[in-house]
Amino acid sequence: MSNVIQIVILGLALGGVYALMASGLTLIFGVMRIVNLAHPVLIIAGAFVTFWLFRLYGVDPILAMPVAAIALFCVGVILYKLIFEKEAASAKYSEMTVLLTFAVAMIFDGLLGWLFTNTQRVTTPSYATDAIFIGDVFIPTGQLYAGVASLVVIGLLLLFLQYTRFGYAIRATTQNRAAAQLMGVNVGLVSLITFGIGIGLAGAAGSLVSFIFSFFPAKHWEWIAILMSLVVLGGMGKLGGVIAGSLILSVIAAFVGAYIGSTWSTMTFFLALFVILLVRPQGLFGDKIEEA
């Protein structure tokens, strides 16, 4: 029984981090229908910001989260103005963004590789290798702190969306972009700021990734399918769904890794993506797709 509890705890802690990693991706899709394949490489960029703050100035990775988030928010605003704003009204916008964000991912991959090489990095705060023991169960403090920090950030995001005027505008744009515009919402500004927030969340996630995973620029290719599986499982554009999907899949992957093998743990996400697209393409919490 203690072994099962152990696996569930590890899965939930890692699931919180995955939820933060995927939350910006689903927020951006919900508001602008941008399928952002560059999201994982921007998480890596946030990890590098945190790594150098830790290495040069000794800043704790969790305390570095706001800095990484603000830095990536600015990157997101610039990217949106330069690349995504012009064709936002196009009927083929979502399809176009797949290619555009793939190109952005390639550019950032090359840029980060040129600046920092593809050497594996990791930040090493003291708690990264510690653990809390409760009887026969141990909780790695690094994963625990990362999971709690992720859920705190997501909680703040949900409060922002639920109770602020700009949050109302974001939710209205997510539900019906045309109707929101008719009601006086500046959807252009909402899209710009939301894209920045989504990329800022990637930066915050990168701070946590920096001490629970080793990372290097090309690692983002491993995360694309994982994050897409979480977003699709929860329902494209559904923030609550991606949180639930992340926790569910992470716990399942933890059991698979414990009882079958760590190699198959990652395959859990790929298999889930394949099955959900076949059986329920709108995701567990998504709206039913209307037939033409």
Asked whether residue 51 is assigned to any structural domain, the reply reads yes
As a dihedral over the C-alpha atoms of residue 198, residue 202, residue 204, residue 209, rounded to 10 degrees, the angle is: 160
Residue-level pLDDT at 84: 86
In this model, does residue 138 exceed pLDDT 90?
A: no
What are the structure tokens assigned to 260, written together?
């079958």
* 92-133 per-position pLDDT tens digit: 777 788 889 999 999 999 999 999 988 899 999 999 888 888
Asked whether residue 9 is assigned to any structural domain, the reply reads yes
Between 272 and 68, residue with greater pLDDT:
68
Q: Which amino acid does the sequence have at 52?
A: W
In this model, does residue 3 exceed pLDDT 90?
A: no
> Which domain does 169 fall in, by range?
2-24+35-220
Asked whether residue 227 is assigned to any structural domain, the reply reads no
Asked whether residue 272 is assigned to any structural domain, the reply reads no
In this model, does residue 46 exceed pLDDT 50?
A: yes
Asked whether residue 281 is assigned to any structural domain, the reply reads no
Cα gap 244→285, rounded to integer Å: 9
Please check whether residue 233 is in contact with residue 275, taking contact to mean a CB–CB distance below 8 angstroms: no
Please check whether residue 146 is in contact with residue 60, taking contact to mean a CB–CB distance below 8 angstroms: no
Between 138 and 263, residue with greater pLDDT:
138
Q: pLDDT band for position 289 (50/70/90)?
A: low
Query: What is the overall mean pLDDT for the chain?
Result: 88
Q: pLDDT band for position 164 (50/70/90)?
A: very high
Residue-level pLDDT at 270: 84
Residue-level pLDDT at 174: 84
Residue 138, strand partner residues: 133
* 256-267 per-position pLDDT tens digit: 988 888 778 888
In this model, does residue 233 exceed pLDDT 50?
A: yes
Asked whether residue 176 is assigned to any structural domain, the reply reads yes
In this model, does residue 136 exceed pLDDT 70?
A: yes
In this model, does residue 80 exceed pLDDT 90?
A: yes
* 193-211 per-position pLDDT tens digit: 999 999 999 999 999 999 9
Comparing 14-18, 61-65, 237-241, the range with the smallest average pLDDT is: 237-241
Residue-level pLDDT at 26: 92
Asked whether residue 236 is assigned to any structural domain, the reply reads no
How many domains are contained in the chain? Answer: 1
Residue-level pLDDT at 292: 39
Please check whether residue 59 is in contact with residue 66, taking contact to mean a CB–CB distance below 8 angstroms: no
Looking at the chain, the whole-number percentage of residues with pLDDT higher than 90 is 51
Asked whether residue 241 is assigned to any structural domain, the reply reads no
Helices (H) and strands (E) in the chain, counts: 11, 2
In this model, does residue 49 exceed pLDDT 90?
A: yes
